[in-house]
Structure 1
Amino acid sequence: MEPQCAIKKDATELIGNTPMVYLNNIVEGCMARIAAKLESMQPCFSIKDRTAFSMIKDAEDKGLITPGKIHYETTGPEIWRDSGGKVDALVAGVGTGGTITGAGRFLKERNPNVKLYGIEPVESAVLSGGPPGDHLIQGIGNGLIPSVLDFNLLDEVIQISSEEAIETAKLLALKEGLLMGISSGAAAAAAIKLGKRPENAGKLIVVVFPSYGERYLSSPLFESIRHEAEQMTFD
């Protein structure tokens, strides 16, 4: 077996195999355990590293792009492996639909009882039959049902408001030490809602955190902190 610290042949080998950690301090009232898949620990700090690598590899190999393939081949198997096959539910935001479709399909093939929960903004709840609208959760809620998304795989679509997503992202940083983006806040908020349902007592919910928070420094996520900094005076 190759040692974990082995020298990699190039940076592409750093993509994937991201860790999962339990949320401990913002899950009061939850009867389920919630584990976060930290896609922010990709080389470029985003879940999009997987898709970008897959697109390039497919283009080099055969000139074709296979939507959802990389999450089926990597994200899904990693969640299954790292949870010891004990994952009961997967929570992920729906942007292109590749994450929930690819990883979700893999997990349901291993265990048909695994529940899949897609996340969309309250303000643009198109997956739930509502009209498109403006919102602050970058990366999800694009105002259409993406062609990549296998809607039939989903057990439920959960709506999260922009305000709740932002506030939960702040809590992740303050209480869990995880600096994540707004869509991660939305996913965490949805996972916490699910974790409080009595039927999920004792179950393991895995939530995908797509990206790191530093790229949101100019967004509403850090607006209050920017305002506070602007008001500071120095003697």
Structure 2
Amino acid sequence: MKIYSCISELVGKTPLLSLHHFIKKYKLNVNMVAKLECFNPAGSVKDRIANAMIEDAEAKGILKPGAVIIEPTSGNTGIGLACLAVSRGYKVMLTMPETMSVERRNLLKAYGAQLVLTDGNQGMKGAIAKAKELSASIPNSFIPSQFTNPENPAAHAMTTGPEIWEDTDGTVDIFVAGVGTGGTISGVGAYLKSKNPAVKVIAVEPATSPVLSKGVAGVHKIQGIGANFVPDTLNTCIYDEIITVENEDAFATGKELAQIEGLLVGISSGAAVWAAKEMAKRPQNAGKTMVVLLPDTGERYLSTPMFSE
């Protein structure tokens, strides 16, 4: 029998899917493959780092029985933490910008997490400050700190990167991913380049908040990427190029994936695939294998302009 004993055992080993309908529509001469992170137990790539940060803190004796896990999140890390922490008996309190979707809020509450909303204009900086304030006043509390915790990129170097390499039989030429904490692109990029230094790593960020490409922070609607600062967990030497994406292009591409590929994915997935399409149009990339990471499911964005307009 194949029966798992804990939900954390279901994290990772997500599938790759060829976007052949998308490729055909745009007459792209590449092999564009999507890494579907919505197949993680709580529905996103962030389940990987939530699991890694909890296990690391337990192993070090930092996270003790009955502890309260407090974390600033744009949604997905909080959802992953809430899902995985409840099965271990921890309470979860999350700080999140008020601009995040109502579905994300409701998912967090469904897992029993306490949600504290912060000023959307302050972005993730406001959520981080609030988490620190709460932790200072709550005994036996622990902040995993996804924006500074080295277990974040390490989780991707240990799992996501090897999965991509093995499932493509080492043929991946280009890796495309959005940048939020930077853990995904840093960990995966480092692993892939260790196997083949010629692999190109492409970072994706919002055009209205081009922190990485222009050093300018701004308001944007691509939930999950564009933290409005450069996190400690981002290795800025790992990516070869940065592509900026407009809100409307992310929305349109995300909706398009649902309607031509049957893939209901989130806004940041739309942004990543739009960026991958731009890379695929370049003559020098003809015939190459491109893996684009799709962080989560679209069900948590049905109330957003991507699907509601």
Q: Which has the higher contact order (CA 8 A, sep 6+)?
A: 1
Match in the other structure for 1:39:
37
- 1:30–1:197 contact (8 Å) kept in structure 2: no
**1:1-235 equivalences in 2 (<5 Å):** 6-27=2-23, 28-62=26-60, 63=62, 65=149, 66-224=151-309
How far the C-alpha of 1:29 sits from its partner, in A, is 2.5
Please, which moves more after superposition, 199-208 or 61-70?
61-70
Find the residue that maps to 2:21 and give its secondary structure.
coil
Find the residue that maps to 1:159 and give its secondary structure.
strand
Q: For 2:220 and 2:274, locate their aligned partners in 1 and report how far apart those are by CA, in whole Å.
A: 16
Q: For 2:31 and 2:196, locate their aligned partners in 1 and report how far apart those are by CA, in whole Å.
A: 19
How far the C-alpha of 1:9 sits from its partner, in A, is 2.5
Find the residue that maps to 1:6 and give its secondary structure.
coil
Q: For 2:41 and 2:152, locate their aligned partners in 1 and report how far apart those are by CA, in whole Å.
A: 21
For 1:114, give the aligned amino acid: V
How far the C-alpha of 1:67 sits from its partner, in A, is 3.2
Pairwise CA RMSD:
1.2
Q: For 1:195 and 1:41, locate their aligned partners in 2 and report how far apart those are by CA, in whole Å.
A: 26
TM-score (norm 2): 0.69
1:150-207 superposed Cα distances (whole Å, 9 cap, x missing partner): 1111100001100000000000000000000000000010111111111111110000
Q: How many residues align?
A: 220
Q: For 1:136 and 1:111, locate their aligned partners in 2 and report how far apart those are by CA, in whole Å.
A: 35
Q: For 1:192 and 1:29, locate their aligned partners in 2 and report how far apart those are by CA, in whole Å.
A: 10
Q: Which runs of 5+ in 1 are unaligned?
A: 225-235
- 1:31–1:197 contact (8 Å) kept in structure 2: no
TM-score (norm 1): 0.91
Please, which moves more after superposition, 128-137 or 92-101?
128-137
Find the residue that maps to 2:221 and give its secondary structure.
coil
Q: Which runs of 5+ in 2 are unaligned?
A: 63-143
Moved over 2 A (4+): 63-67
Q: For 2:219 and 2:252, locate their aligned partners in 1 and report how far apart those are by CA, in whole Å.
A: 18
Q: For 1:16 and 1:222, locate their aligned partners in 2 and report how far apart those are by CA, in whole Å.
A: 28
Find the residue that maps to 1:21 and give its secondary structure.
strand
Q: For 1:88 and 1:131, locate their aligned partners in 2 and report how far apart those are by CA, in whole Å.
A: 30
